[in-house]
Structure 1
Amino acid sequence: MGKVDDNKKQKKHTLLRAAFQLFTEKGFSKTTVADIVDRAGLAKGTFYLYFKDKFDLRDKLIAYKATQLFNDAHLELDKANVPTFEDEVLFMTDYIIGRFMTDEPLSQFVAKNLSWGIFQAEVSNGASVLPQAFFDHYLESLERYHVNCTSPSLMLYTIIELIGSTSYSCILKQTPVSMEEYMPYLHETLKKIIEVFTVKEDAE
Structure 2
Amino acid sequence: MGKVEIKKKEKKNALFQNAFDLFIDKGFAKTTISDIVERSGLAKGTFYLYFKDKYDLRDKLVVYKAGQLFTDAHNALKKYPDMDFEKQLLFVTDYIIERLQAQHNLMKFISKNLSWGIFRDTFSNTVPQESVPFYEYYLESMKKSHIICAEPELLLFTIIELIGSTCYNCIILEQPVSMDKYLPYLHQSILQIFRSFTKREQV
Are the equivalent residues in 2 in contact too, given 1:60–1:122 (CA < 8 A)? Answer: no
User: What percent identity do the matched residue pairs reach?
Assistant: 55
Are the equivalent residues in 1 in contact too, given 2:147–2:201 (CA < 8 A)? Answer: no
Are the equivalent residues in 2 in contact too, given 1:114–1:160 (CA < 8 A)? Answer: yes
Shift of 1:24: 1.5
Letter in 2 for 1:43: A
State the number of aligned residues.
202
What secondary structure does 1:79 align onto? coil
Unpaired runs of 5+ in structure 2? none
> Partner residue of 1:83?
83
Supply the distance in 2 between the matched residues of 1:47 and 1:126 (Cα, whole angstroms): 15
Are the equivalent residues in 2 in contact too, given 1:77–1:91 (CA < 8 A)? Answer: yes
> Partner residue of 2:52?
52
> Partner residue of 2:12?
12
Letter in 2 for 1:68: Q
Are the equivalent residues in 1 in contact too, given 2:148–2:200 (CA < 8 A)? Answer: yes
Letter in 1 for 2:138: Y
Are the equivalent residues in 1 in contact too, given 2:108–2:172 (CA < 8 A)? Answer: yes
Cα shift readout 1:183-202 (whole Å, capped 9, x = no counterpart)? 01100110111012114679
Are the equivalent residues in 2 in contact too, given 1:24–1:105 (CA < 8 A)? Answer: yes
After superposition, residues 127-166 of structure 1 pair within 5 angstroms as: 127-129=127-129, 131-166=131-166
What secondary structure does 2:13 align onto? helix
TM-score in terms of structure 2 length: 0.91
Are the equivalent residues in 2 in contact too, given 1:82–1:88 (CA < 8 A)? Answer: no
TM-score in terms of structure 1 length: 0.90
Are the equivalent residues in 1 in contact too, given 2:171–2:178 (CA < 8 A)? Answer: yes
Structure 1 residues 93-102 or 1-10, which shifts more?
1-10
Cα shift readout 1:97-129 (whole Å, capped 9, x = no counterpart)? 000011122212225321111331343344354
Unpaired runs of 5+ in structure 1? none
Are the equivalent residues in 2 in contact too, given 1:116–1:157 (CA < 8 A)? Answer: yes
Let me know the Cα RMSD of the aligned residues. Answer: 2.0
> Partner residue of 2:105?
105
Supply the distance in 1 between the matched residues of 2:31 and 2:107 (Cα, whole angstroms): 18
Letter in 2 for 1:79: K
> Partner residue of 1:116?
116
Cα shift readout 1:66-95 (whole Å, capped 9, x = no counterpart)? 221111111111113653211100000000
